[in-house]
Structure 1
Amino acid sequence: MNRRDSLLAALVATIWGFNFVVIDWGMSGVPPLLFAAVRFTVVVVPAVLVVRRPDAPWRVLAAVGLFMSLGQFGFLYVSMDAGMPPGLAALVLQAQVIFTVLIAAGVLRELPTRPQVVGVVLGCVGLVVVALGRGGHVPAVALALCLLGALSWGIGNVVSRSSGISGGLSLTVWSAVVVPVPLLALSLAVDGPAAVGDALASFSWQAVVSTLYTAGLASLVGYAVFNTLLSRNPSSAVVPWVLLAPVVAMTSAWLLLGQRPNAAEVGGGLVLVLGVLVAMRPARARPSDDGGVADLVGRDDVPAQR
Structure 2
Amino acid sequence: MRYREAERAESHVADSEERTVGDESGDERVRRYATAGLFLVTALLFGTAFAGIEVGLTALPPVLFAALRFDVGALVLLAVVAVRGGYWRPLTGADYRAVVVSAVFLVSLNAVLLFVGQQYTTSGAAAVMFSLAPVLSPLFARFLLPDERISAVGAVGILLGLVGVVVVVAPDPTRLLAADAVGQALVAVAAVSVAFGSVLLRRIDPDVGSLAMTAWAMTLSAALVHVASLALGESAAAVAWTPVALGAVAYLGLFSTAGAFPAYFALIERVGPIRANLVTYAVPVVASVTGALVLLERIAATTVVGFAVVVLGFVLVERDSLGEELATVRARLGGRAPPDEADD
Considering the TM-score relative to the shorter chain, is it more than 0.5? yes
Residue 84 of structure 1 contacts residue 138 of structure 1 at CA under 8 Å; is this kept in 2?
no
Q: After superposition, what is the alpha-carbon deviation per residue over 1:206-233, rounded to whole angstroms, capped at 9, x for unaligned?
A: 2222222212112222221221221122
Distance across 1 between alignment mates of 2:91 and 2:126: 33
Distance across 1 between alignment mates of 2:313 and 2:210: 24
> How far does residue 29 in structure 1 lie from its aligned partner after superposition?
2.5
2:232 aligned residue (182, 185, 190) = 190
For normalisation by structure 1, the TM-score amounts to 0.83
Aligned position for 2:150: 112
Q: After superposition, what is the alpha-carbon deviation per residue over 1:142-174, rounded to whole angstroms, capped at 9, x for unaligned?
A: 111101111111121012111113633222111
Aligned position for 2:199: 158
Unaligned runs of 5+ in 2: 1-30, 82-87, 324-344
Change (3 A) 1:4 1:283: closer
Residue 63 of structure 1 contacts residue 156 of structure 1 at CA under 8 Å; is this kept in 2?
yes
For normalisation by structure 2, the TM-score amounts to 0.75
Change (3 A) 1:124 1:196: same
1:13 aligned residue (43, 64, 73) = 43
Q: After superposition, what is the alpha-carbon deviation per residue over 1:253-289, rounded to whole angstroms, capped at 9, x for unaligned?
A: 122222112222211121112212332333599xxxx
Choose between structure 1 and 2: higher helix proportion. Answer: 2
- The yes-or-no answer on 1:175 pairing with 2:217 is yes
Residue 132 of structure 2 contacts residue 161 of structure 2 at CA under 8 Å; is this kept in 1?
yes
1:88 aligned residue (109, 118, 125) = 125
Distance across 2 between alignment mates of 1:55 and 1:231: 23
Change (3 A) 1:278 1:145: same
Q: After superposition, what is the alpha-carbon deviation per residue over 1:95-153, rounded to whole angstroms, capped at 9, x for unaligned?
A: 11232111111222321245533321221221222232689998101111101111111
Letter of the 1:177 counterpart: T
Letter of the 1:144 counterpart: A
Residue 315 of structure 2 contacts residue 322 of structure 2 at CA under 8 Å; is this kept in 1?
no
Q: Give percent identity, aligned residues only.
A: 26
SS in structure 2 opposite 1:282? Answer: helix
> How far does residue 186 in structure 1 lie from its aligned partner after superposition?
1.5
Aligned position for 1:144: 185
> How far does residue 203 in structure 1 lie from its aligned partner after superposition?
2.1
Residue 65 of structure 1 contacts residue 179 of structure 1 at CA under 8 Å; is this kept in 2?
yes
Distance across 2 between alignment mates of 1:134 and 1:222: 36
Question: How many residues are aligned here?
Answer: 280
Distance across 2 between alignment mates of 1:141 and 1:179: 24
2:56 aligned residue (26, 39, 46) = 26
- The yes-or-no answer on 1:225 pairing with 2:255 is no
> How far does residue 46 in structure 1 lie from its aligned partner after superposition?
3.5
Letter of the 2:89 counterpart: R
Residue 157 of structure 2 contacts residue 312 of structure 2 at CA under 8 Å; is this kept in 1?
yes
- The yes-or-no answer on 1:258 pairing with 2:296 is yes
Residue 134 of structure 1 contacts residue 262 of structure 1 at CA under 8 Å; is this kept in 2?
no
Aligned position for 2:28: none
Letter of the 2:182 counterpart: V
Residue 99 of structure 2 contacts residue 214 of structure 2 at CA under 8 Å; is this kept in 1?
no
Bigger radius of gyration among the two: 2
SS in structure 1 opposite 2:60? Answer: coil
